Amino acid sequence: MKAFRALKHYRLPPGSRLCLMDDGLPLKVSPEDPAIHCMTDLHRVPAVTTKASASIDHALQHMIHTGVRMLFVLDDADILIGLVTARDLTGEKPIRIAAEKGLTRDEITVQDVMIDQHQIDVLDLSEVEHSMVGDIVLTLRDAGRQHALVRENRMQQTEIRGVFSISQIARQLDLELSVNDAVQSFSELEHILSRDD
């Protein structure tokens, strides 16, 4: 039988900090840096998910708790069937659906407000790997989106490999954005892109 030993205890010194998760992203980037420096890589960071049957309030609380503004929606076999953003949960969509279907807010589910899988556009990892941060900002602006998914084809199957978020890019560009105002966000980011430093 293996002999085990108790480890020595140490007093925690004042001023100790928690180790920050290494998501592989640099703290600061410039518009000319490789786009991959702003992509949340789902090989390094777990995807935050919900089920289609979850209530919109439950999904919103999950977003708040995990610090994200988008959730992947999975079916019971963990296949991606859609995605839902904070805007989908708090904007006009729930109000319209409640009126159309005669539901209370508590009865509205993620399924009612999510973006279906067949409506999701993705970027290709091979192209992202040869792009710059500024390219991604313009891509998001042109699509009118705050998020972009990145696909990778592996073993004859498509996987979502990463996510670009306009708020993540702004943080790395050292810019504070109003998360509820996409127009202002893109305007501020375009100003950063057009600066001649």
Strand, coil or helix: 35: helix
Which ranges of the chain have pLDDT less than 50? Answer: 181, 183, 196-197
The CA–CA distances, whole Å, from 37 to 40, 55, 89, 130 equal 8, 34, 29, 11
Whether 182 is covered by a domain: the verdict is: yes
Whether 188 is covered by a domain: the verdict is: yes
Whether 125 is covered by a domain: the verdict is: yes
- Confidence at residue 190, expressed as pLDDT on a 0 to 100 scale: 66
Lay out the sheet containing 70-74: strands in order across: 49-51, 70-74, 80-85, 115-116
Closest to 168 in 3D by CA, of 142, 136, 194: 136
Whether 2 is covered by a domain: the verdict is: no
Q: What CATH number should be reported for the domain holding residue 136?
A: 3.10.580.10
Whether 138 is covered by a domain: the verdict is: yes
- Confidence at residue 196, expressed as pLDDT on a 0 to 100 scale: 46
Q: DSSP letters of 126-159?
A: HHHTT-BHHHHHHHHHHHT-SEEEEEEEETTEEE
Range of the domain at 69: 35-194
Supply φ then ψ for residue 64, to 5 degrees: -60, -45
Closest to 131 in 3D by CA, of 59, 33, 54, 64: 33
Whether 30 is covered by a domain: the verdict is: no
The answer to whether the Cα torsion of 188, 190, 196, 197 is positive or negative is positive
- Confidence at residue 7, expressed as pLDDT on a 0 to 100 scale: 85
Task: Work out how many domains the chain is built from and give that number.
Answer: 1
- Confidence at residue 197, expressed as pLDDT on a 0 to 100 scale: 45
Whether 75 is covered by a domain: the verdict is: yes
pLDDT single digits (tens) 15-33: 877 776 667 788 899 999 9
Whether 83 is covered by a domain: the verdict is: yes
